[in-house]
Structure 1
Amino acid sequence: MVFKKMLSAFGVGGPSVDTVLVNPNTRPGLSLDGQVNMRGGDSAATIEQVTISLVTRVEVESGAAEYAGLMEFHRMPVSGPFQLAPGQQLSLPFQLPVPWETPITDLYGQRLHGMTMGLRTELSVARAVDKGDLDQVAVHPLPVHERILEAMLRLGFRFKNADLERGYIQGVQQTLPFYQEIEFFASPQYAQSVNEVELTFVTNQYGVDVIVECDKRGGLFTGGHDSIGRFTVQHADADRVDWVAQVDGWLSQTISRYGQHGHGLGHPGYGQPGYGPGYGQGPGYGQPGYGPGYGQHGHGHGHHGRGAGVGGMVAAGALGVAGGLVAGEVLDEVFDDDGGDDGGFGFDEE
């Protein structure tokens, strides 16, 4: 009996857990639905808590060094304490709200190169090794995100990479302890002015703050520098705006206003939103489906230390944030992301 207790303490013959998602595809502001399936081990176990959380890989700068770590950024309990009898099977349903600022991981049904996202399940077992499960999830863009990204491609920009930078952007109401940078190589018409362009979306239930960072080329007697623009759009404008002309205008403004650091920038017609409630409940905003053709319905790193980049806008002292961070590319190893043929768009093939 004592030997069995020792084995149980090391996780041998203990309970097991497996989380099943109804649909691993979601969007910011929606939810992930599923159930946590548990099976009792060789002996009765006291389960102290069952929790689920969203985890992702975040880039962290520490002095001159930079490393990637696994960060938990949204957590929810599924149950409190209970007893799990030997061999007992138990399923607990859940519905996890997806934060509005959750970064985009997939576009047109394919994974953006550089992005990882997972749903982690933790089964806390009294006097024994905790059990866990990790499931890959895909976060697809909201319609306004998709229109802006499509406009960049139609303007000739080529996707380069996407990553998450730990920190907060000054002047933007931000709830998560990191922000996403979606990087593009310059299009031919902008190639003489900029090297690269980065987009950051900070989303809420009403709309999106779009931060545009242009890595400007240097001249014969001048060095290169970054120029920042910040624009606010409404979700309701997704199908009302000529987004190619809109994004082209944003880029022109951003390039021309170097030195203003993006503070207080706004685009005509896109001031502080006065939105009505109820977004996200109407048709076209449901859970993404499976199969080919997804993305048609319902619609590198930051340049820190160069002065006017988004990295220069990160609030000093704001890096002591909630959420565990573990060095290493754990999600990449678990999900075995091998890249594959991306068709020239910089996607990771699933």
Structure 2
Amino acid sequence: MAFRTFLSALGINAPQVETVLDREAVRPGEKLTVVVTLRGGADVLVERLKLDVVGRFEDSEPDETGWANPGVILSWTEEGPFALAAGKERVRDVDFELPWEMPLTHVLGGRRLKGARVAVRTELAIDNSVDRGDFDEFSVHALAPQDVVLQAYADLGFRFDEAELKKGTPGSAVASRVGFWQEIELWFPAEYGSIGGLGIAFNAREDSLDLLTGGSGGLTFSYDDLDPEQVRARLDAHYRERFLPAWSEIPAGAMPSGVRPGEG
């Protein structure tokens, strides 16, 4: 990536920065290395160089095209002041250990999740001026076990809608080590009684994951014995047990017109 001029208010001698990610696609639990090169346009004192791994949180961004108020997932800071002389370069290599709970942007071999975005933001502070407009996006692909679970949903006829990143934890039943969680929204197939929408969430670890099944409890899967057919059967039985009996007991014509099960 080419050098970009920071802090244009300083004029033609403003410092320049180049931020380079070692790869454009990662998976949860992996390491992302970022190399930042600063080049001085004039002799300045840099007060702070900061790198943030950020995500698009549900309630913070007005649309999907910009970065108005991204949420910080990981952060690295070099506090100054330190000198950046004209024509000189300062290089920093930064390693980010991505959490297992890292929000996904791509699933099922490369399908983009609508609404999911992550990036590295480079921030430079000089003379009480802060420029945090440099965003380098990258993709986070699902772990193989996550794709097995998501493929099971697809095989059962669930349709993917979008993903939302939220602050906090998805529920007291799941112990999360981070202050955020990602909800993946799907639509039930007709076989389950036109129930409507469903929001699921993963709580991944090195050897297993919890699946929050959308207000109907949770399931835990070990990576050692993750058989696709068994996962599909387990999900099918889970939703049939929790949703179909309740709606099958409603007499014909008892539900108000225009209201789907799960609404109202």
TM-score class, shorter-chain normalisation, is: 0.7 to 0.9
Partner of 2:51: 52
In 1, Cα distance between equivalents of 2:144 and 2:220: 15
Structure 1 residues 240 and 178: alpha-carbon distance in aligned structure 2, compared to 1, 3 A threshold: same
Structure 1 residues 93 and 78: alpha-carbon distance in aligned structure 2, compared to 1, 3 A threshold: farther
Partner of 2:3: none
Equivalent residue for 1:243, pick from 231, 241, 245: 231
- Scaled by the length of structure 2, the TM-score of the pair is 0.77
| SS of structure 2 residue aligned to 1:148 | helix
Alignment map for 1:162-201 (pairs within 5 Å)? 162-168=163-169, 169-190=171-192, 192=193, 194-201=195-202
Which letter does structure 1 place at the counterpart of 2:55?
T
Which letter does structure 2 place at the counterpart of 1:15?
P
Partner of 1:32: 32
Query: Is the 1:58–1:164 Cα contact (8 Å) retained in structure 2?
Result: yes
| Displacement of 1:112 | 0.8
Which has the bigger relative contact order, CA under 8 A and spacing at least 6? 1
Structure 1 residues 204 and 257: alpha-carbon distance in aligned structure 2, compared to 1, 3 A threshold: farther
| Displacement of 1:79 | 7.0
| Displacement of 1:39 | 1.1
Query: Is the 1:78–1:94 Cα contact (8 Å) retained in structure 2?
Result: no
Which letter does structure 1 place at the counterpart of 2:77?
P
Structure 1 residues 178 and 128: alpha-carbon distance in aligned structure 2, compared to 1, 3 A threshold: closer
In 2, Cα distance between equivalents of 1:124 and 1:229: 46
1:232 aligns with 2:220: yes
| Displacement of 1:166 | 2.8
Please report the RMSD computed on the Cα atoms of aligned residues, expressed in angstroms: 2.8
Query: Is the 1:78–1:92 Cα contact (8 Å) retained in structure 2?
Result: no
| SS of structure 2 residue aligned to 1:250 | helix
| Displacement of 1:183 | 1.3
Alignment map for 1:1-350 (pairs within 5 Å)? 10-12=9-11, 13-41=13-41, 43-60=42-59, 69-77=69-77, 81-107=81-107, 108-130=109-131, 132-168=133-169, 169-190=171-192, 192=193, 194-213=195-214, 227-239=215-227, 242-255=230-243
Query: Is the 1:51–1:77 Cα contact (8 Å) retained in structure 2?
Result: yes
In 2, Cα distance between equivalents of 1:80 and 1:240: 52
In 2, Cα distance between equivalents of 1:77 and 1:129: 14
In 2, Cα distance between equivalents of 1:59 and 1:137: 18
| Displacement of 1:256 | 6.4
- Identical-residue share of aligned pairs (%): 31
Structure 1 residues 159 and 187: alpha-carbon distance in aligned structure 2, compared to 1, 3 A threshold: same
In 1, Cα distance between equivalents of 2:242 and 2:139: 31
Listed as ranges, the gaps of 5+ residues in structure 1 are 1-7, 214-226, 259-305, 308-350
Structure 1 residues 208 and 80: alpha-carbon distance in aligned structure 2, compared to 1, 3 A threshold: farther
In 1, Cα distance between equivalents of 2:198 and 2:16: 46
- Scaled by the length of structure 1, the TM-score of the pair is 0.60
Which letter does structure 1 place at the counterpart of 2:236?
D
Number of equivalences: 234
| Displacement of 1:74 | 1.4
In 2, Cα distance between equivalents of 1:87 and 1:132: 23
In 2, Cα distance between equivalents of 1:77 and 1:113: 31
Which 4+ stretches in 1 moved above 3 angstroms?
Answer: 8-11, 66-69, 78-81, 126-132, 237-241
Which letter does structure 2 place at the counterpart of 1:86?
A
| Displacement of 1:52 | 1.4
In 2, Cα distance between equivalents of 1:240 and 1:9: 54
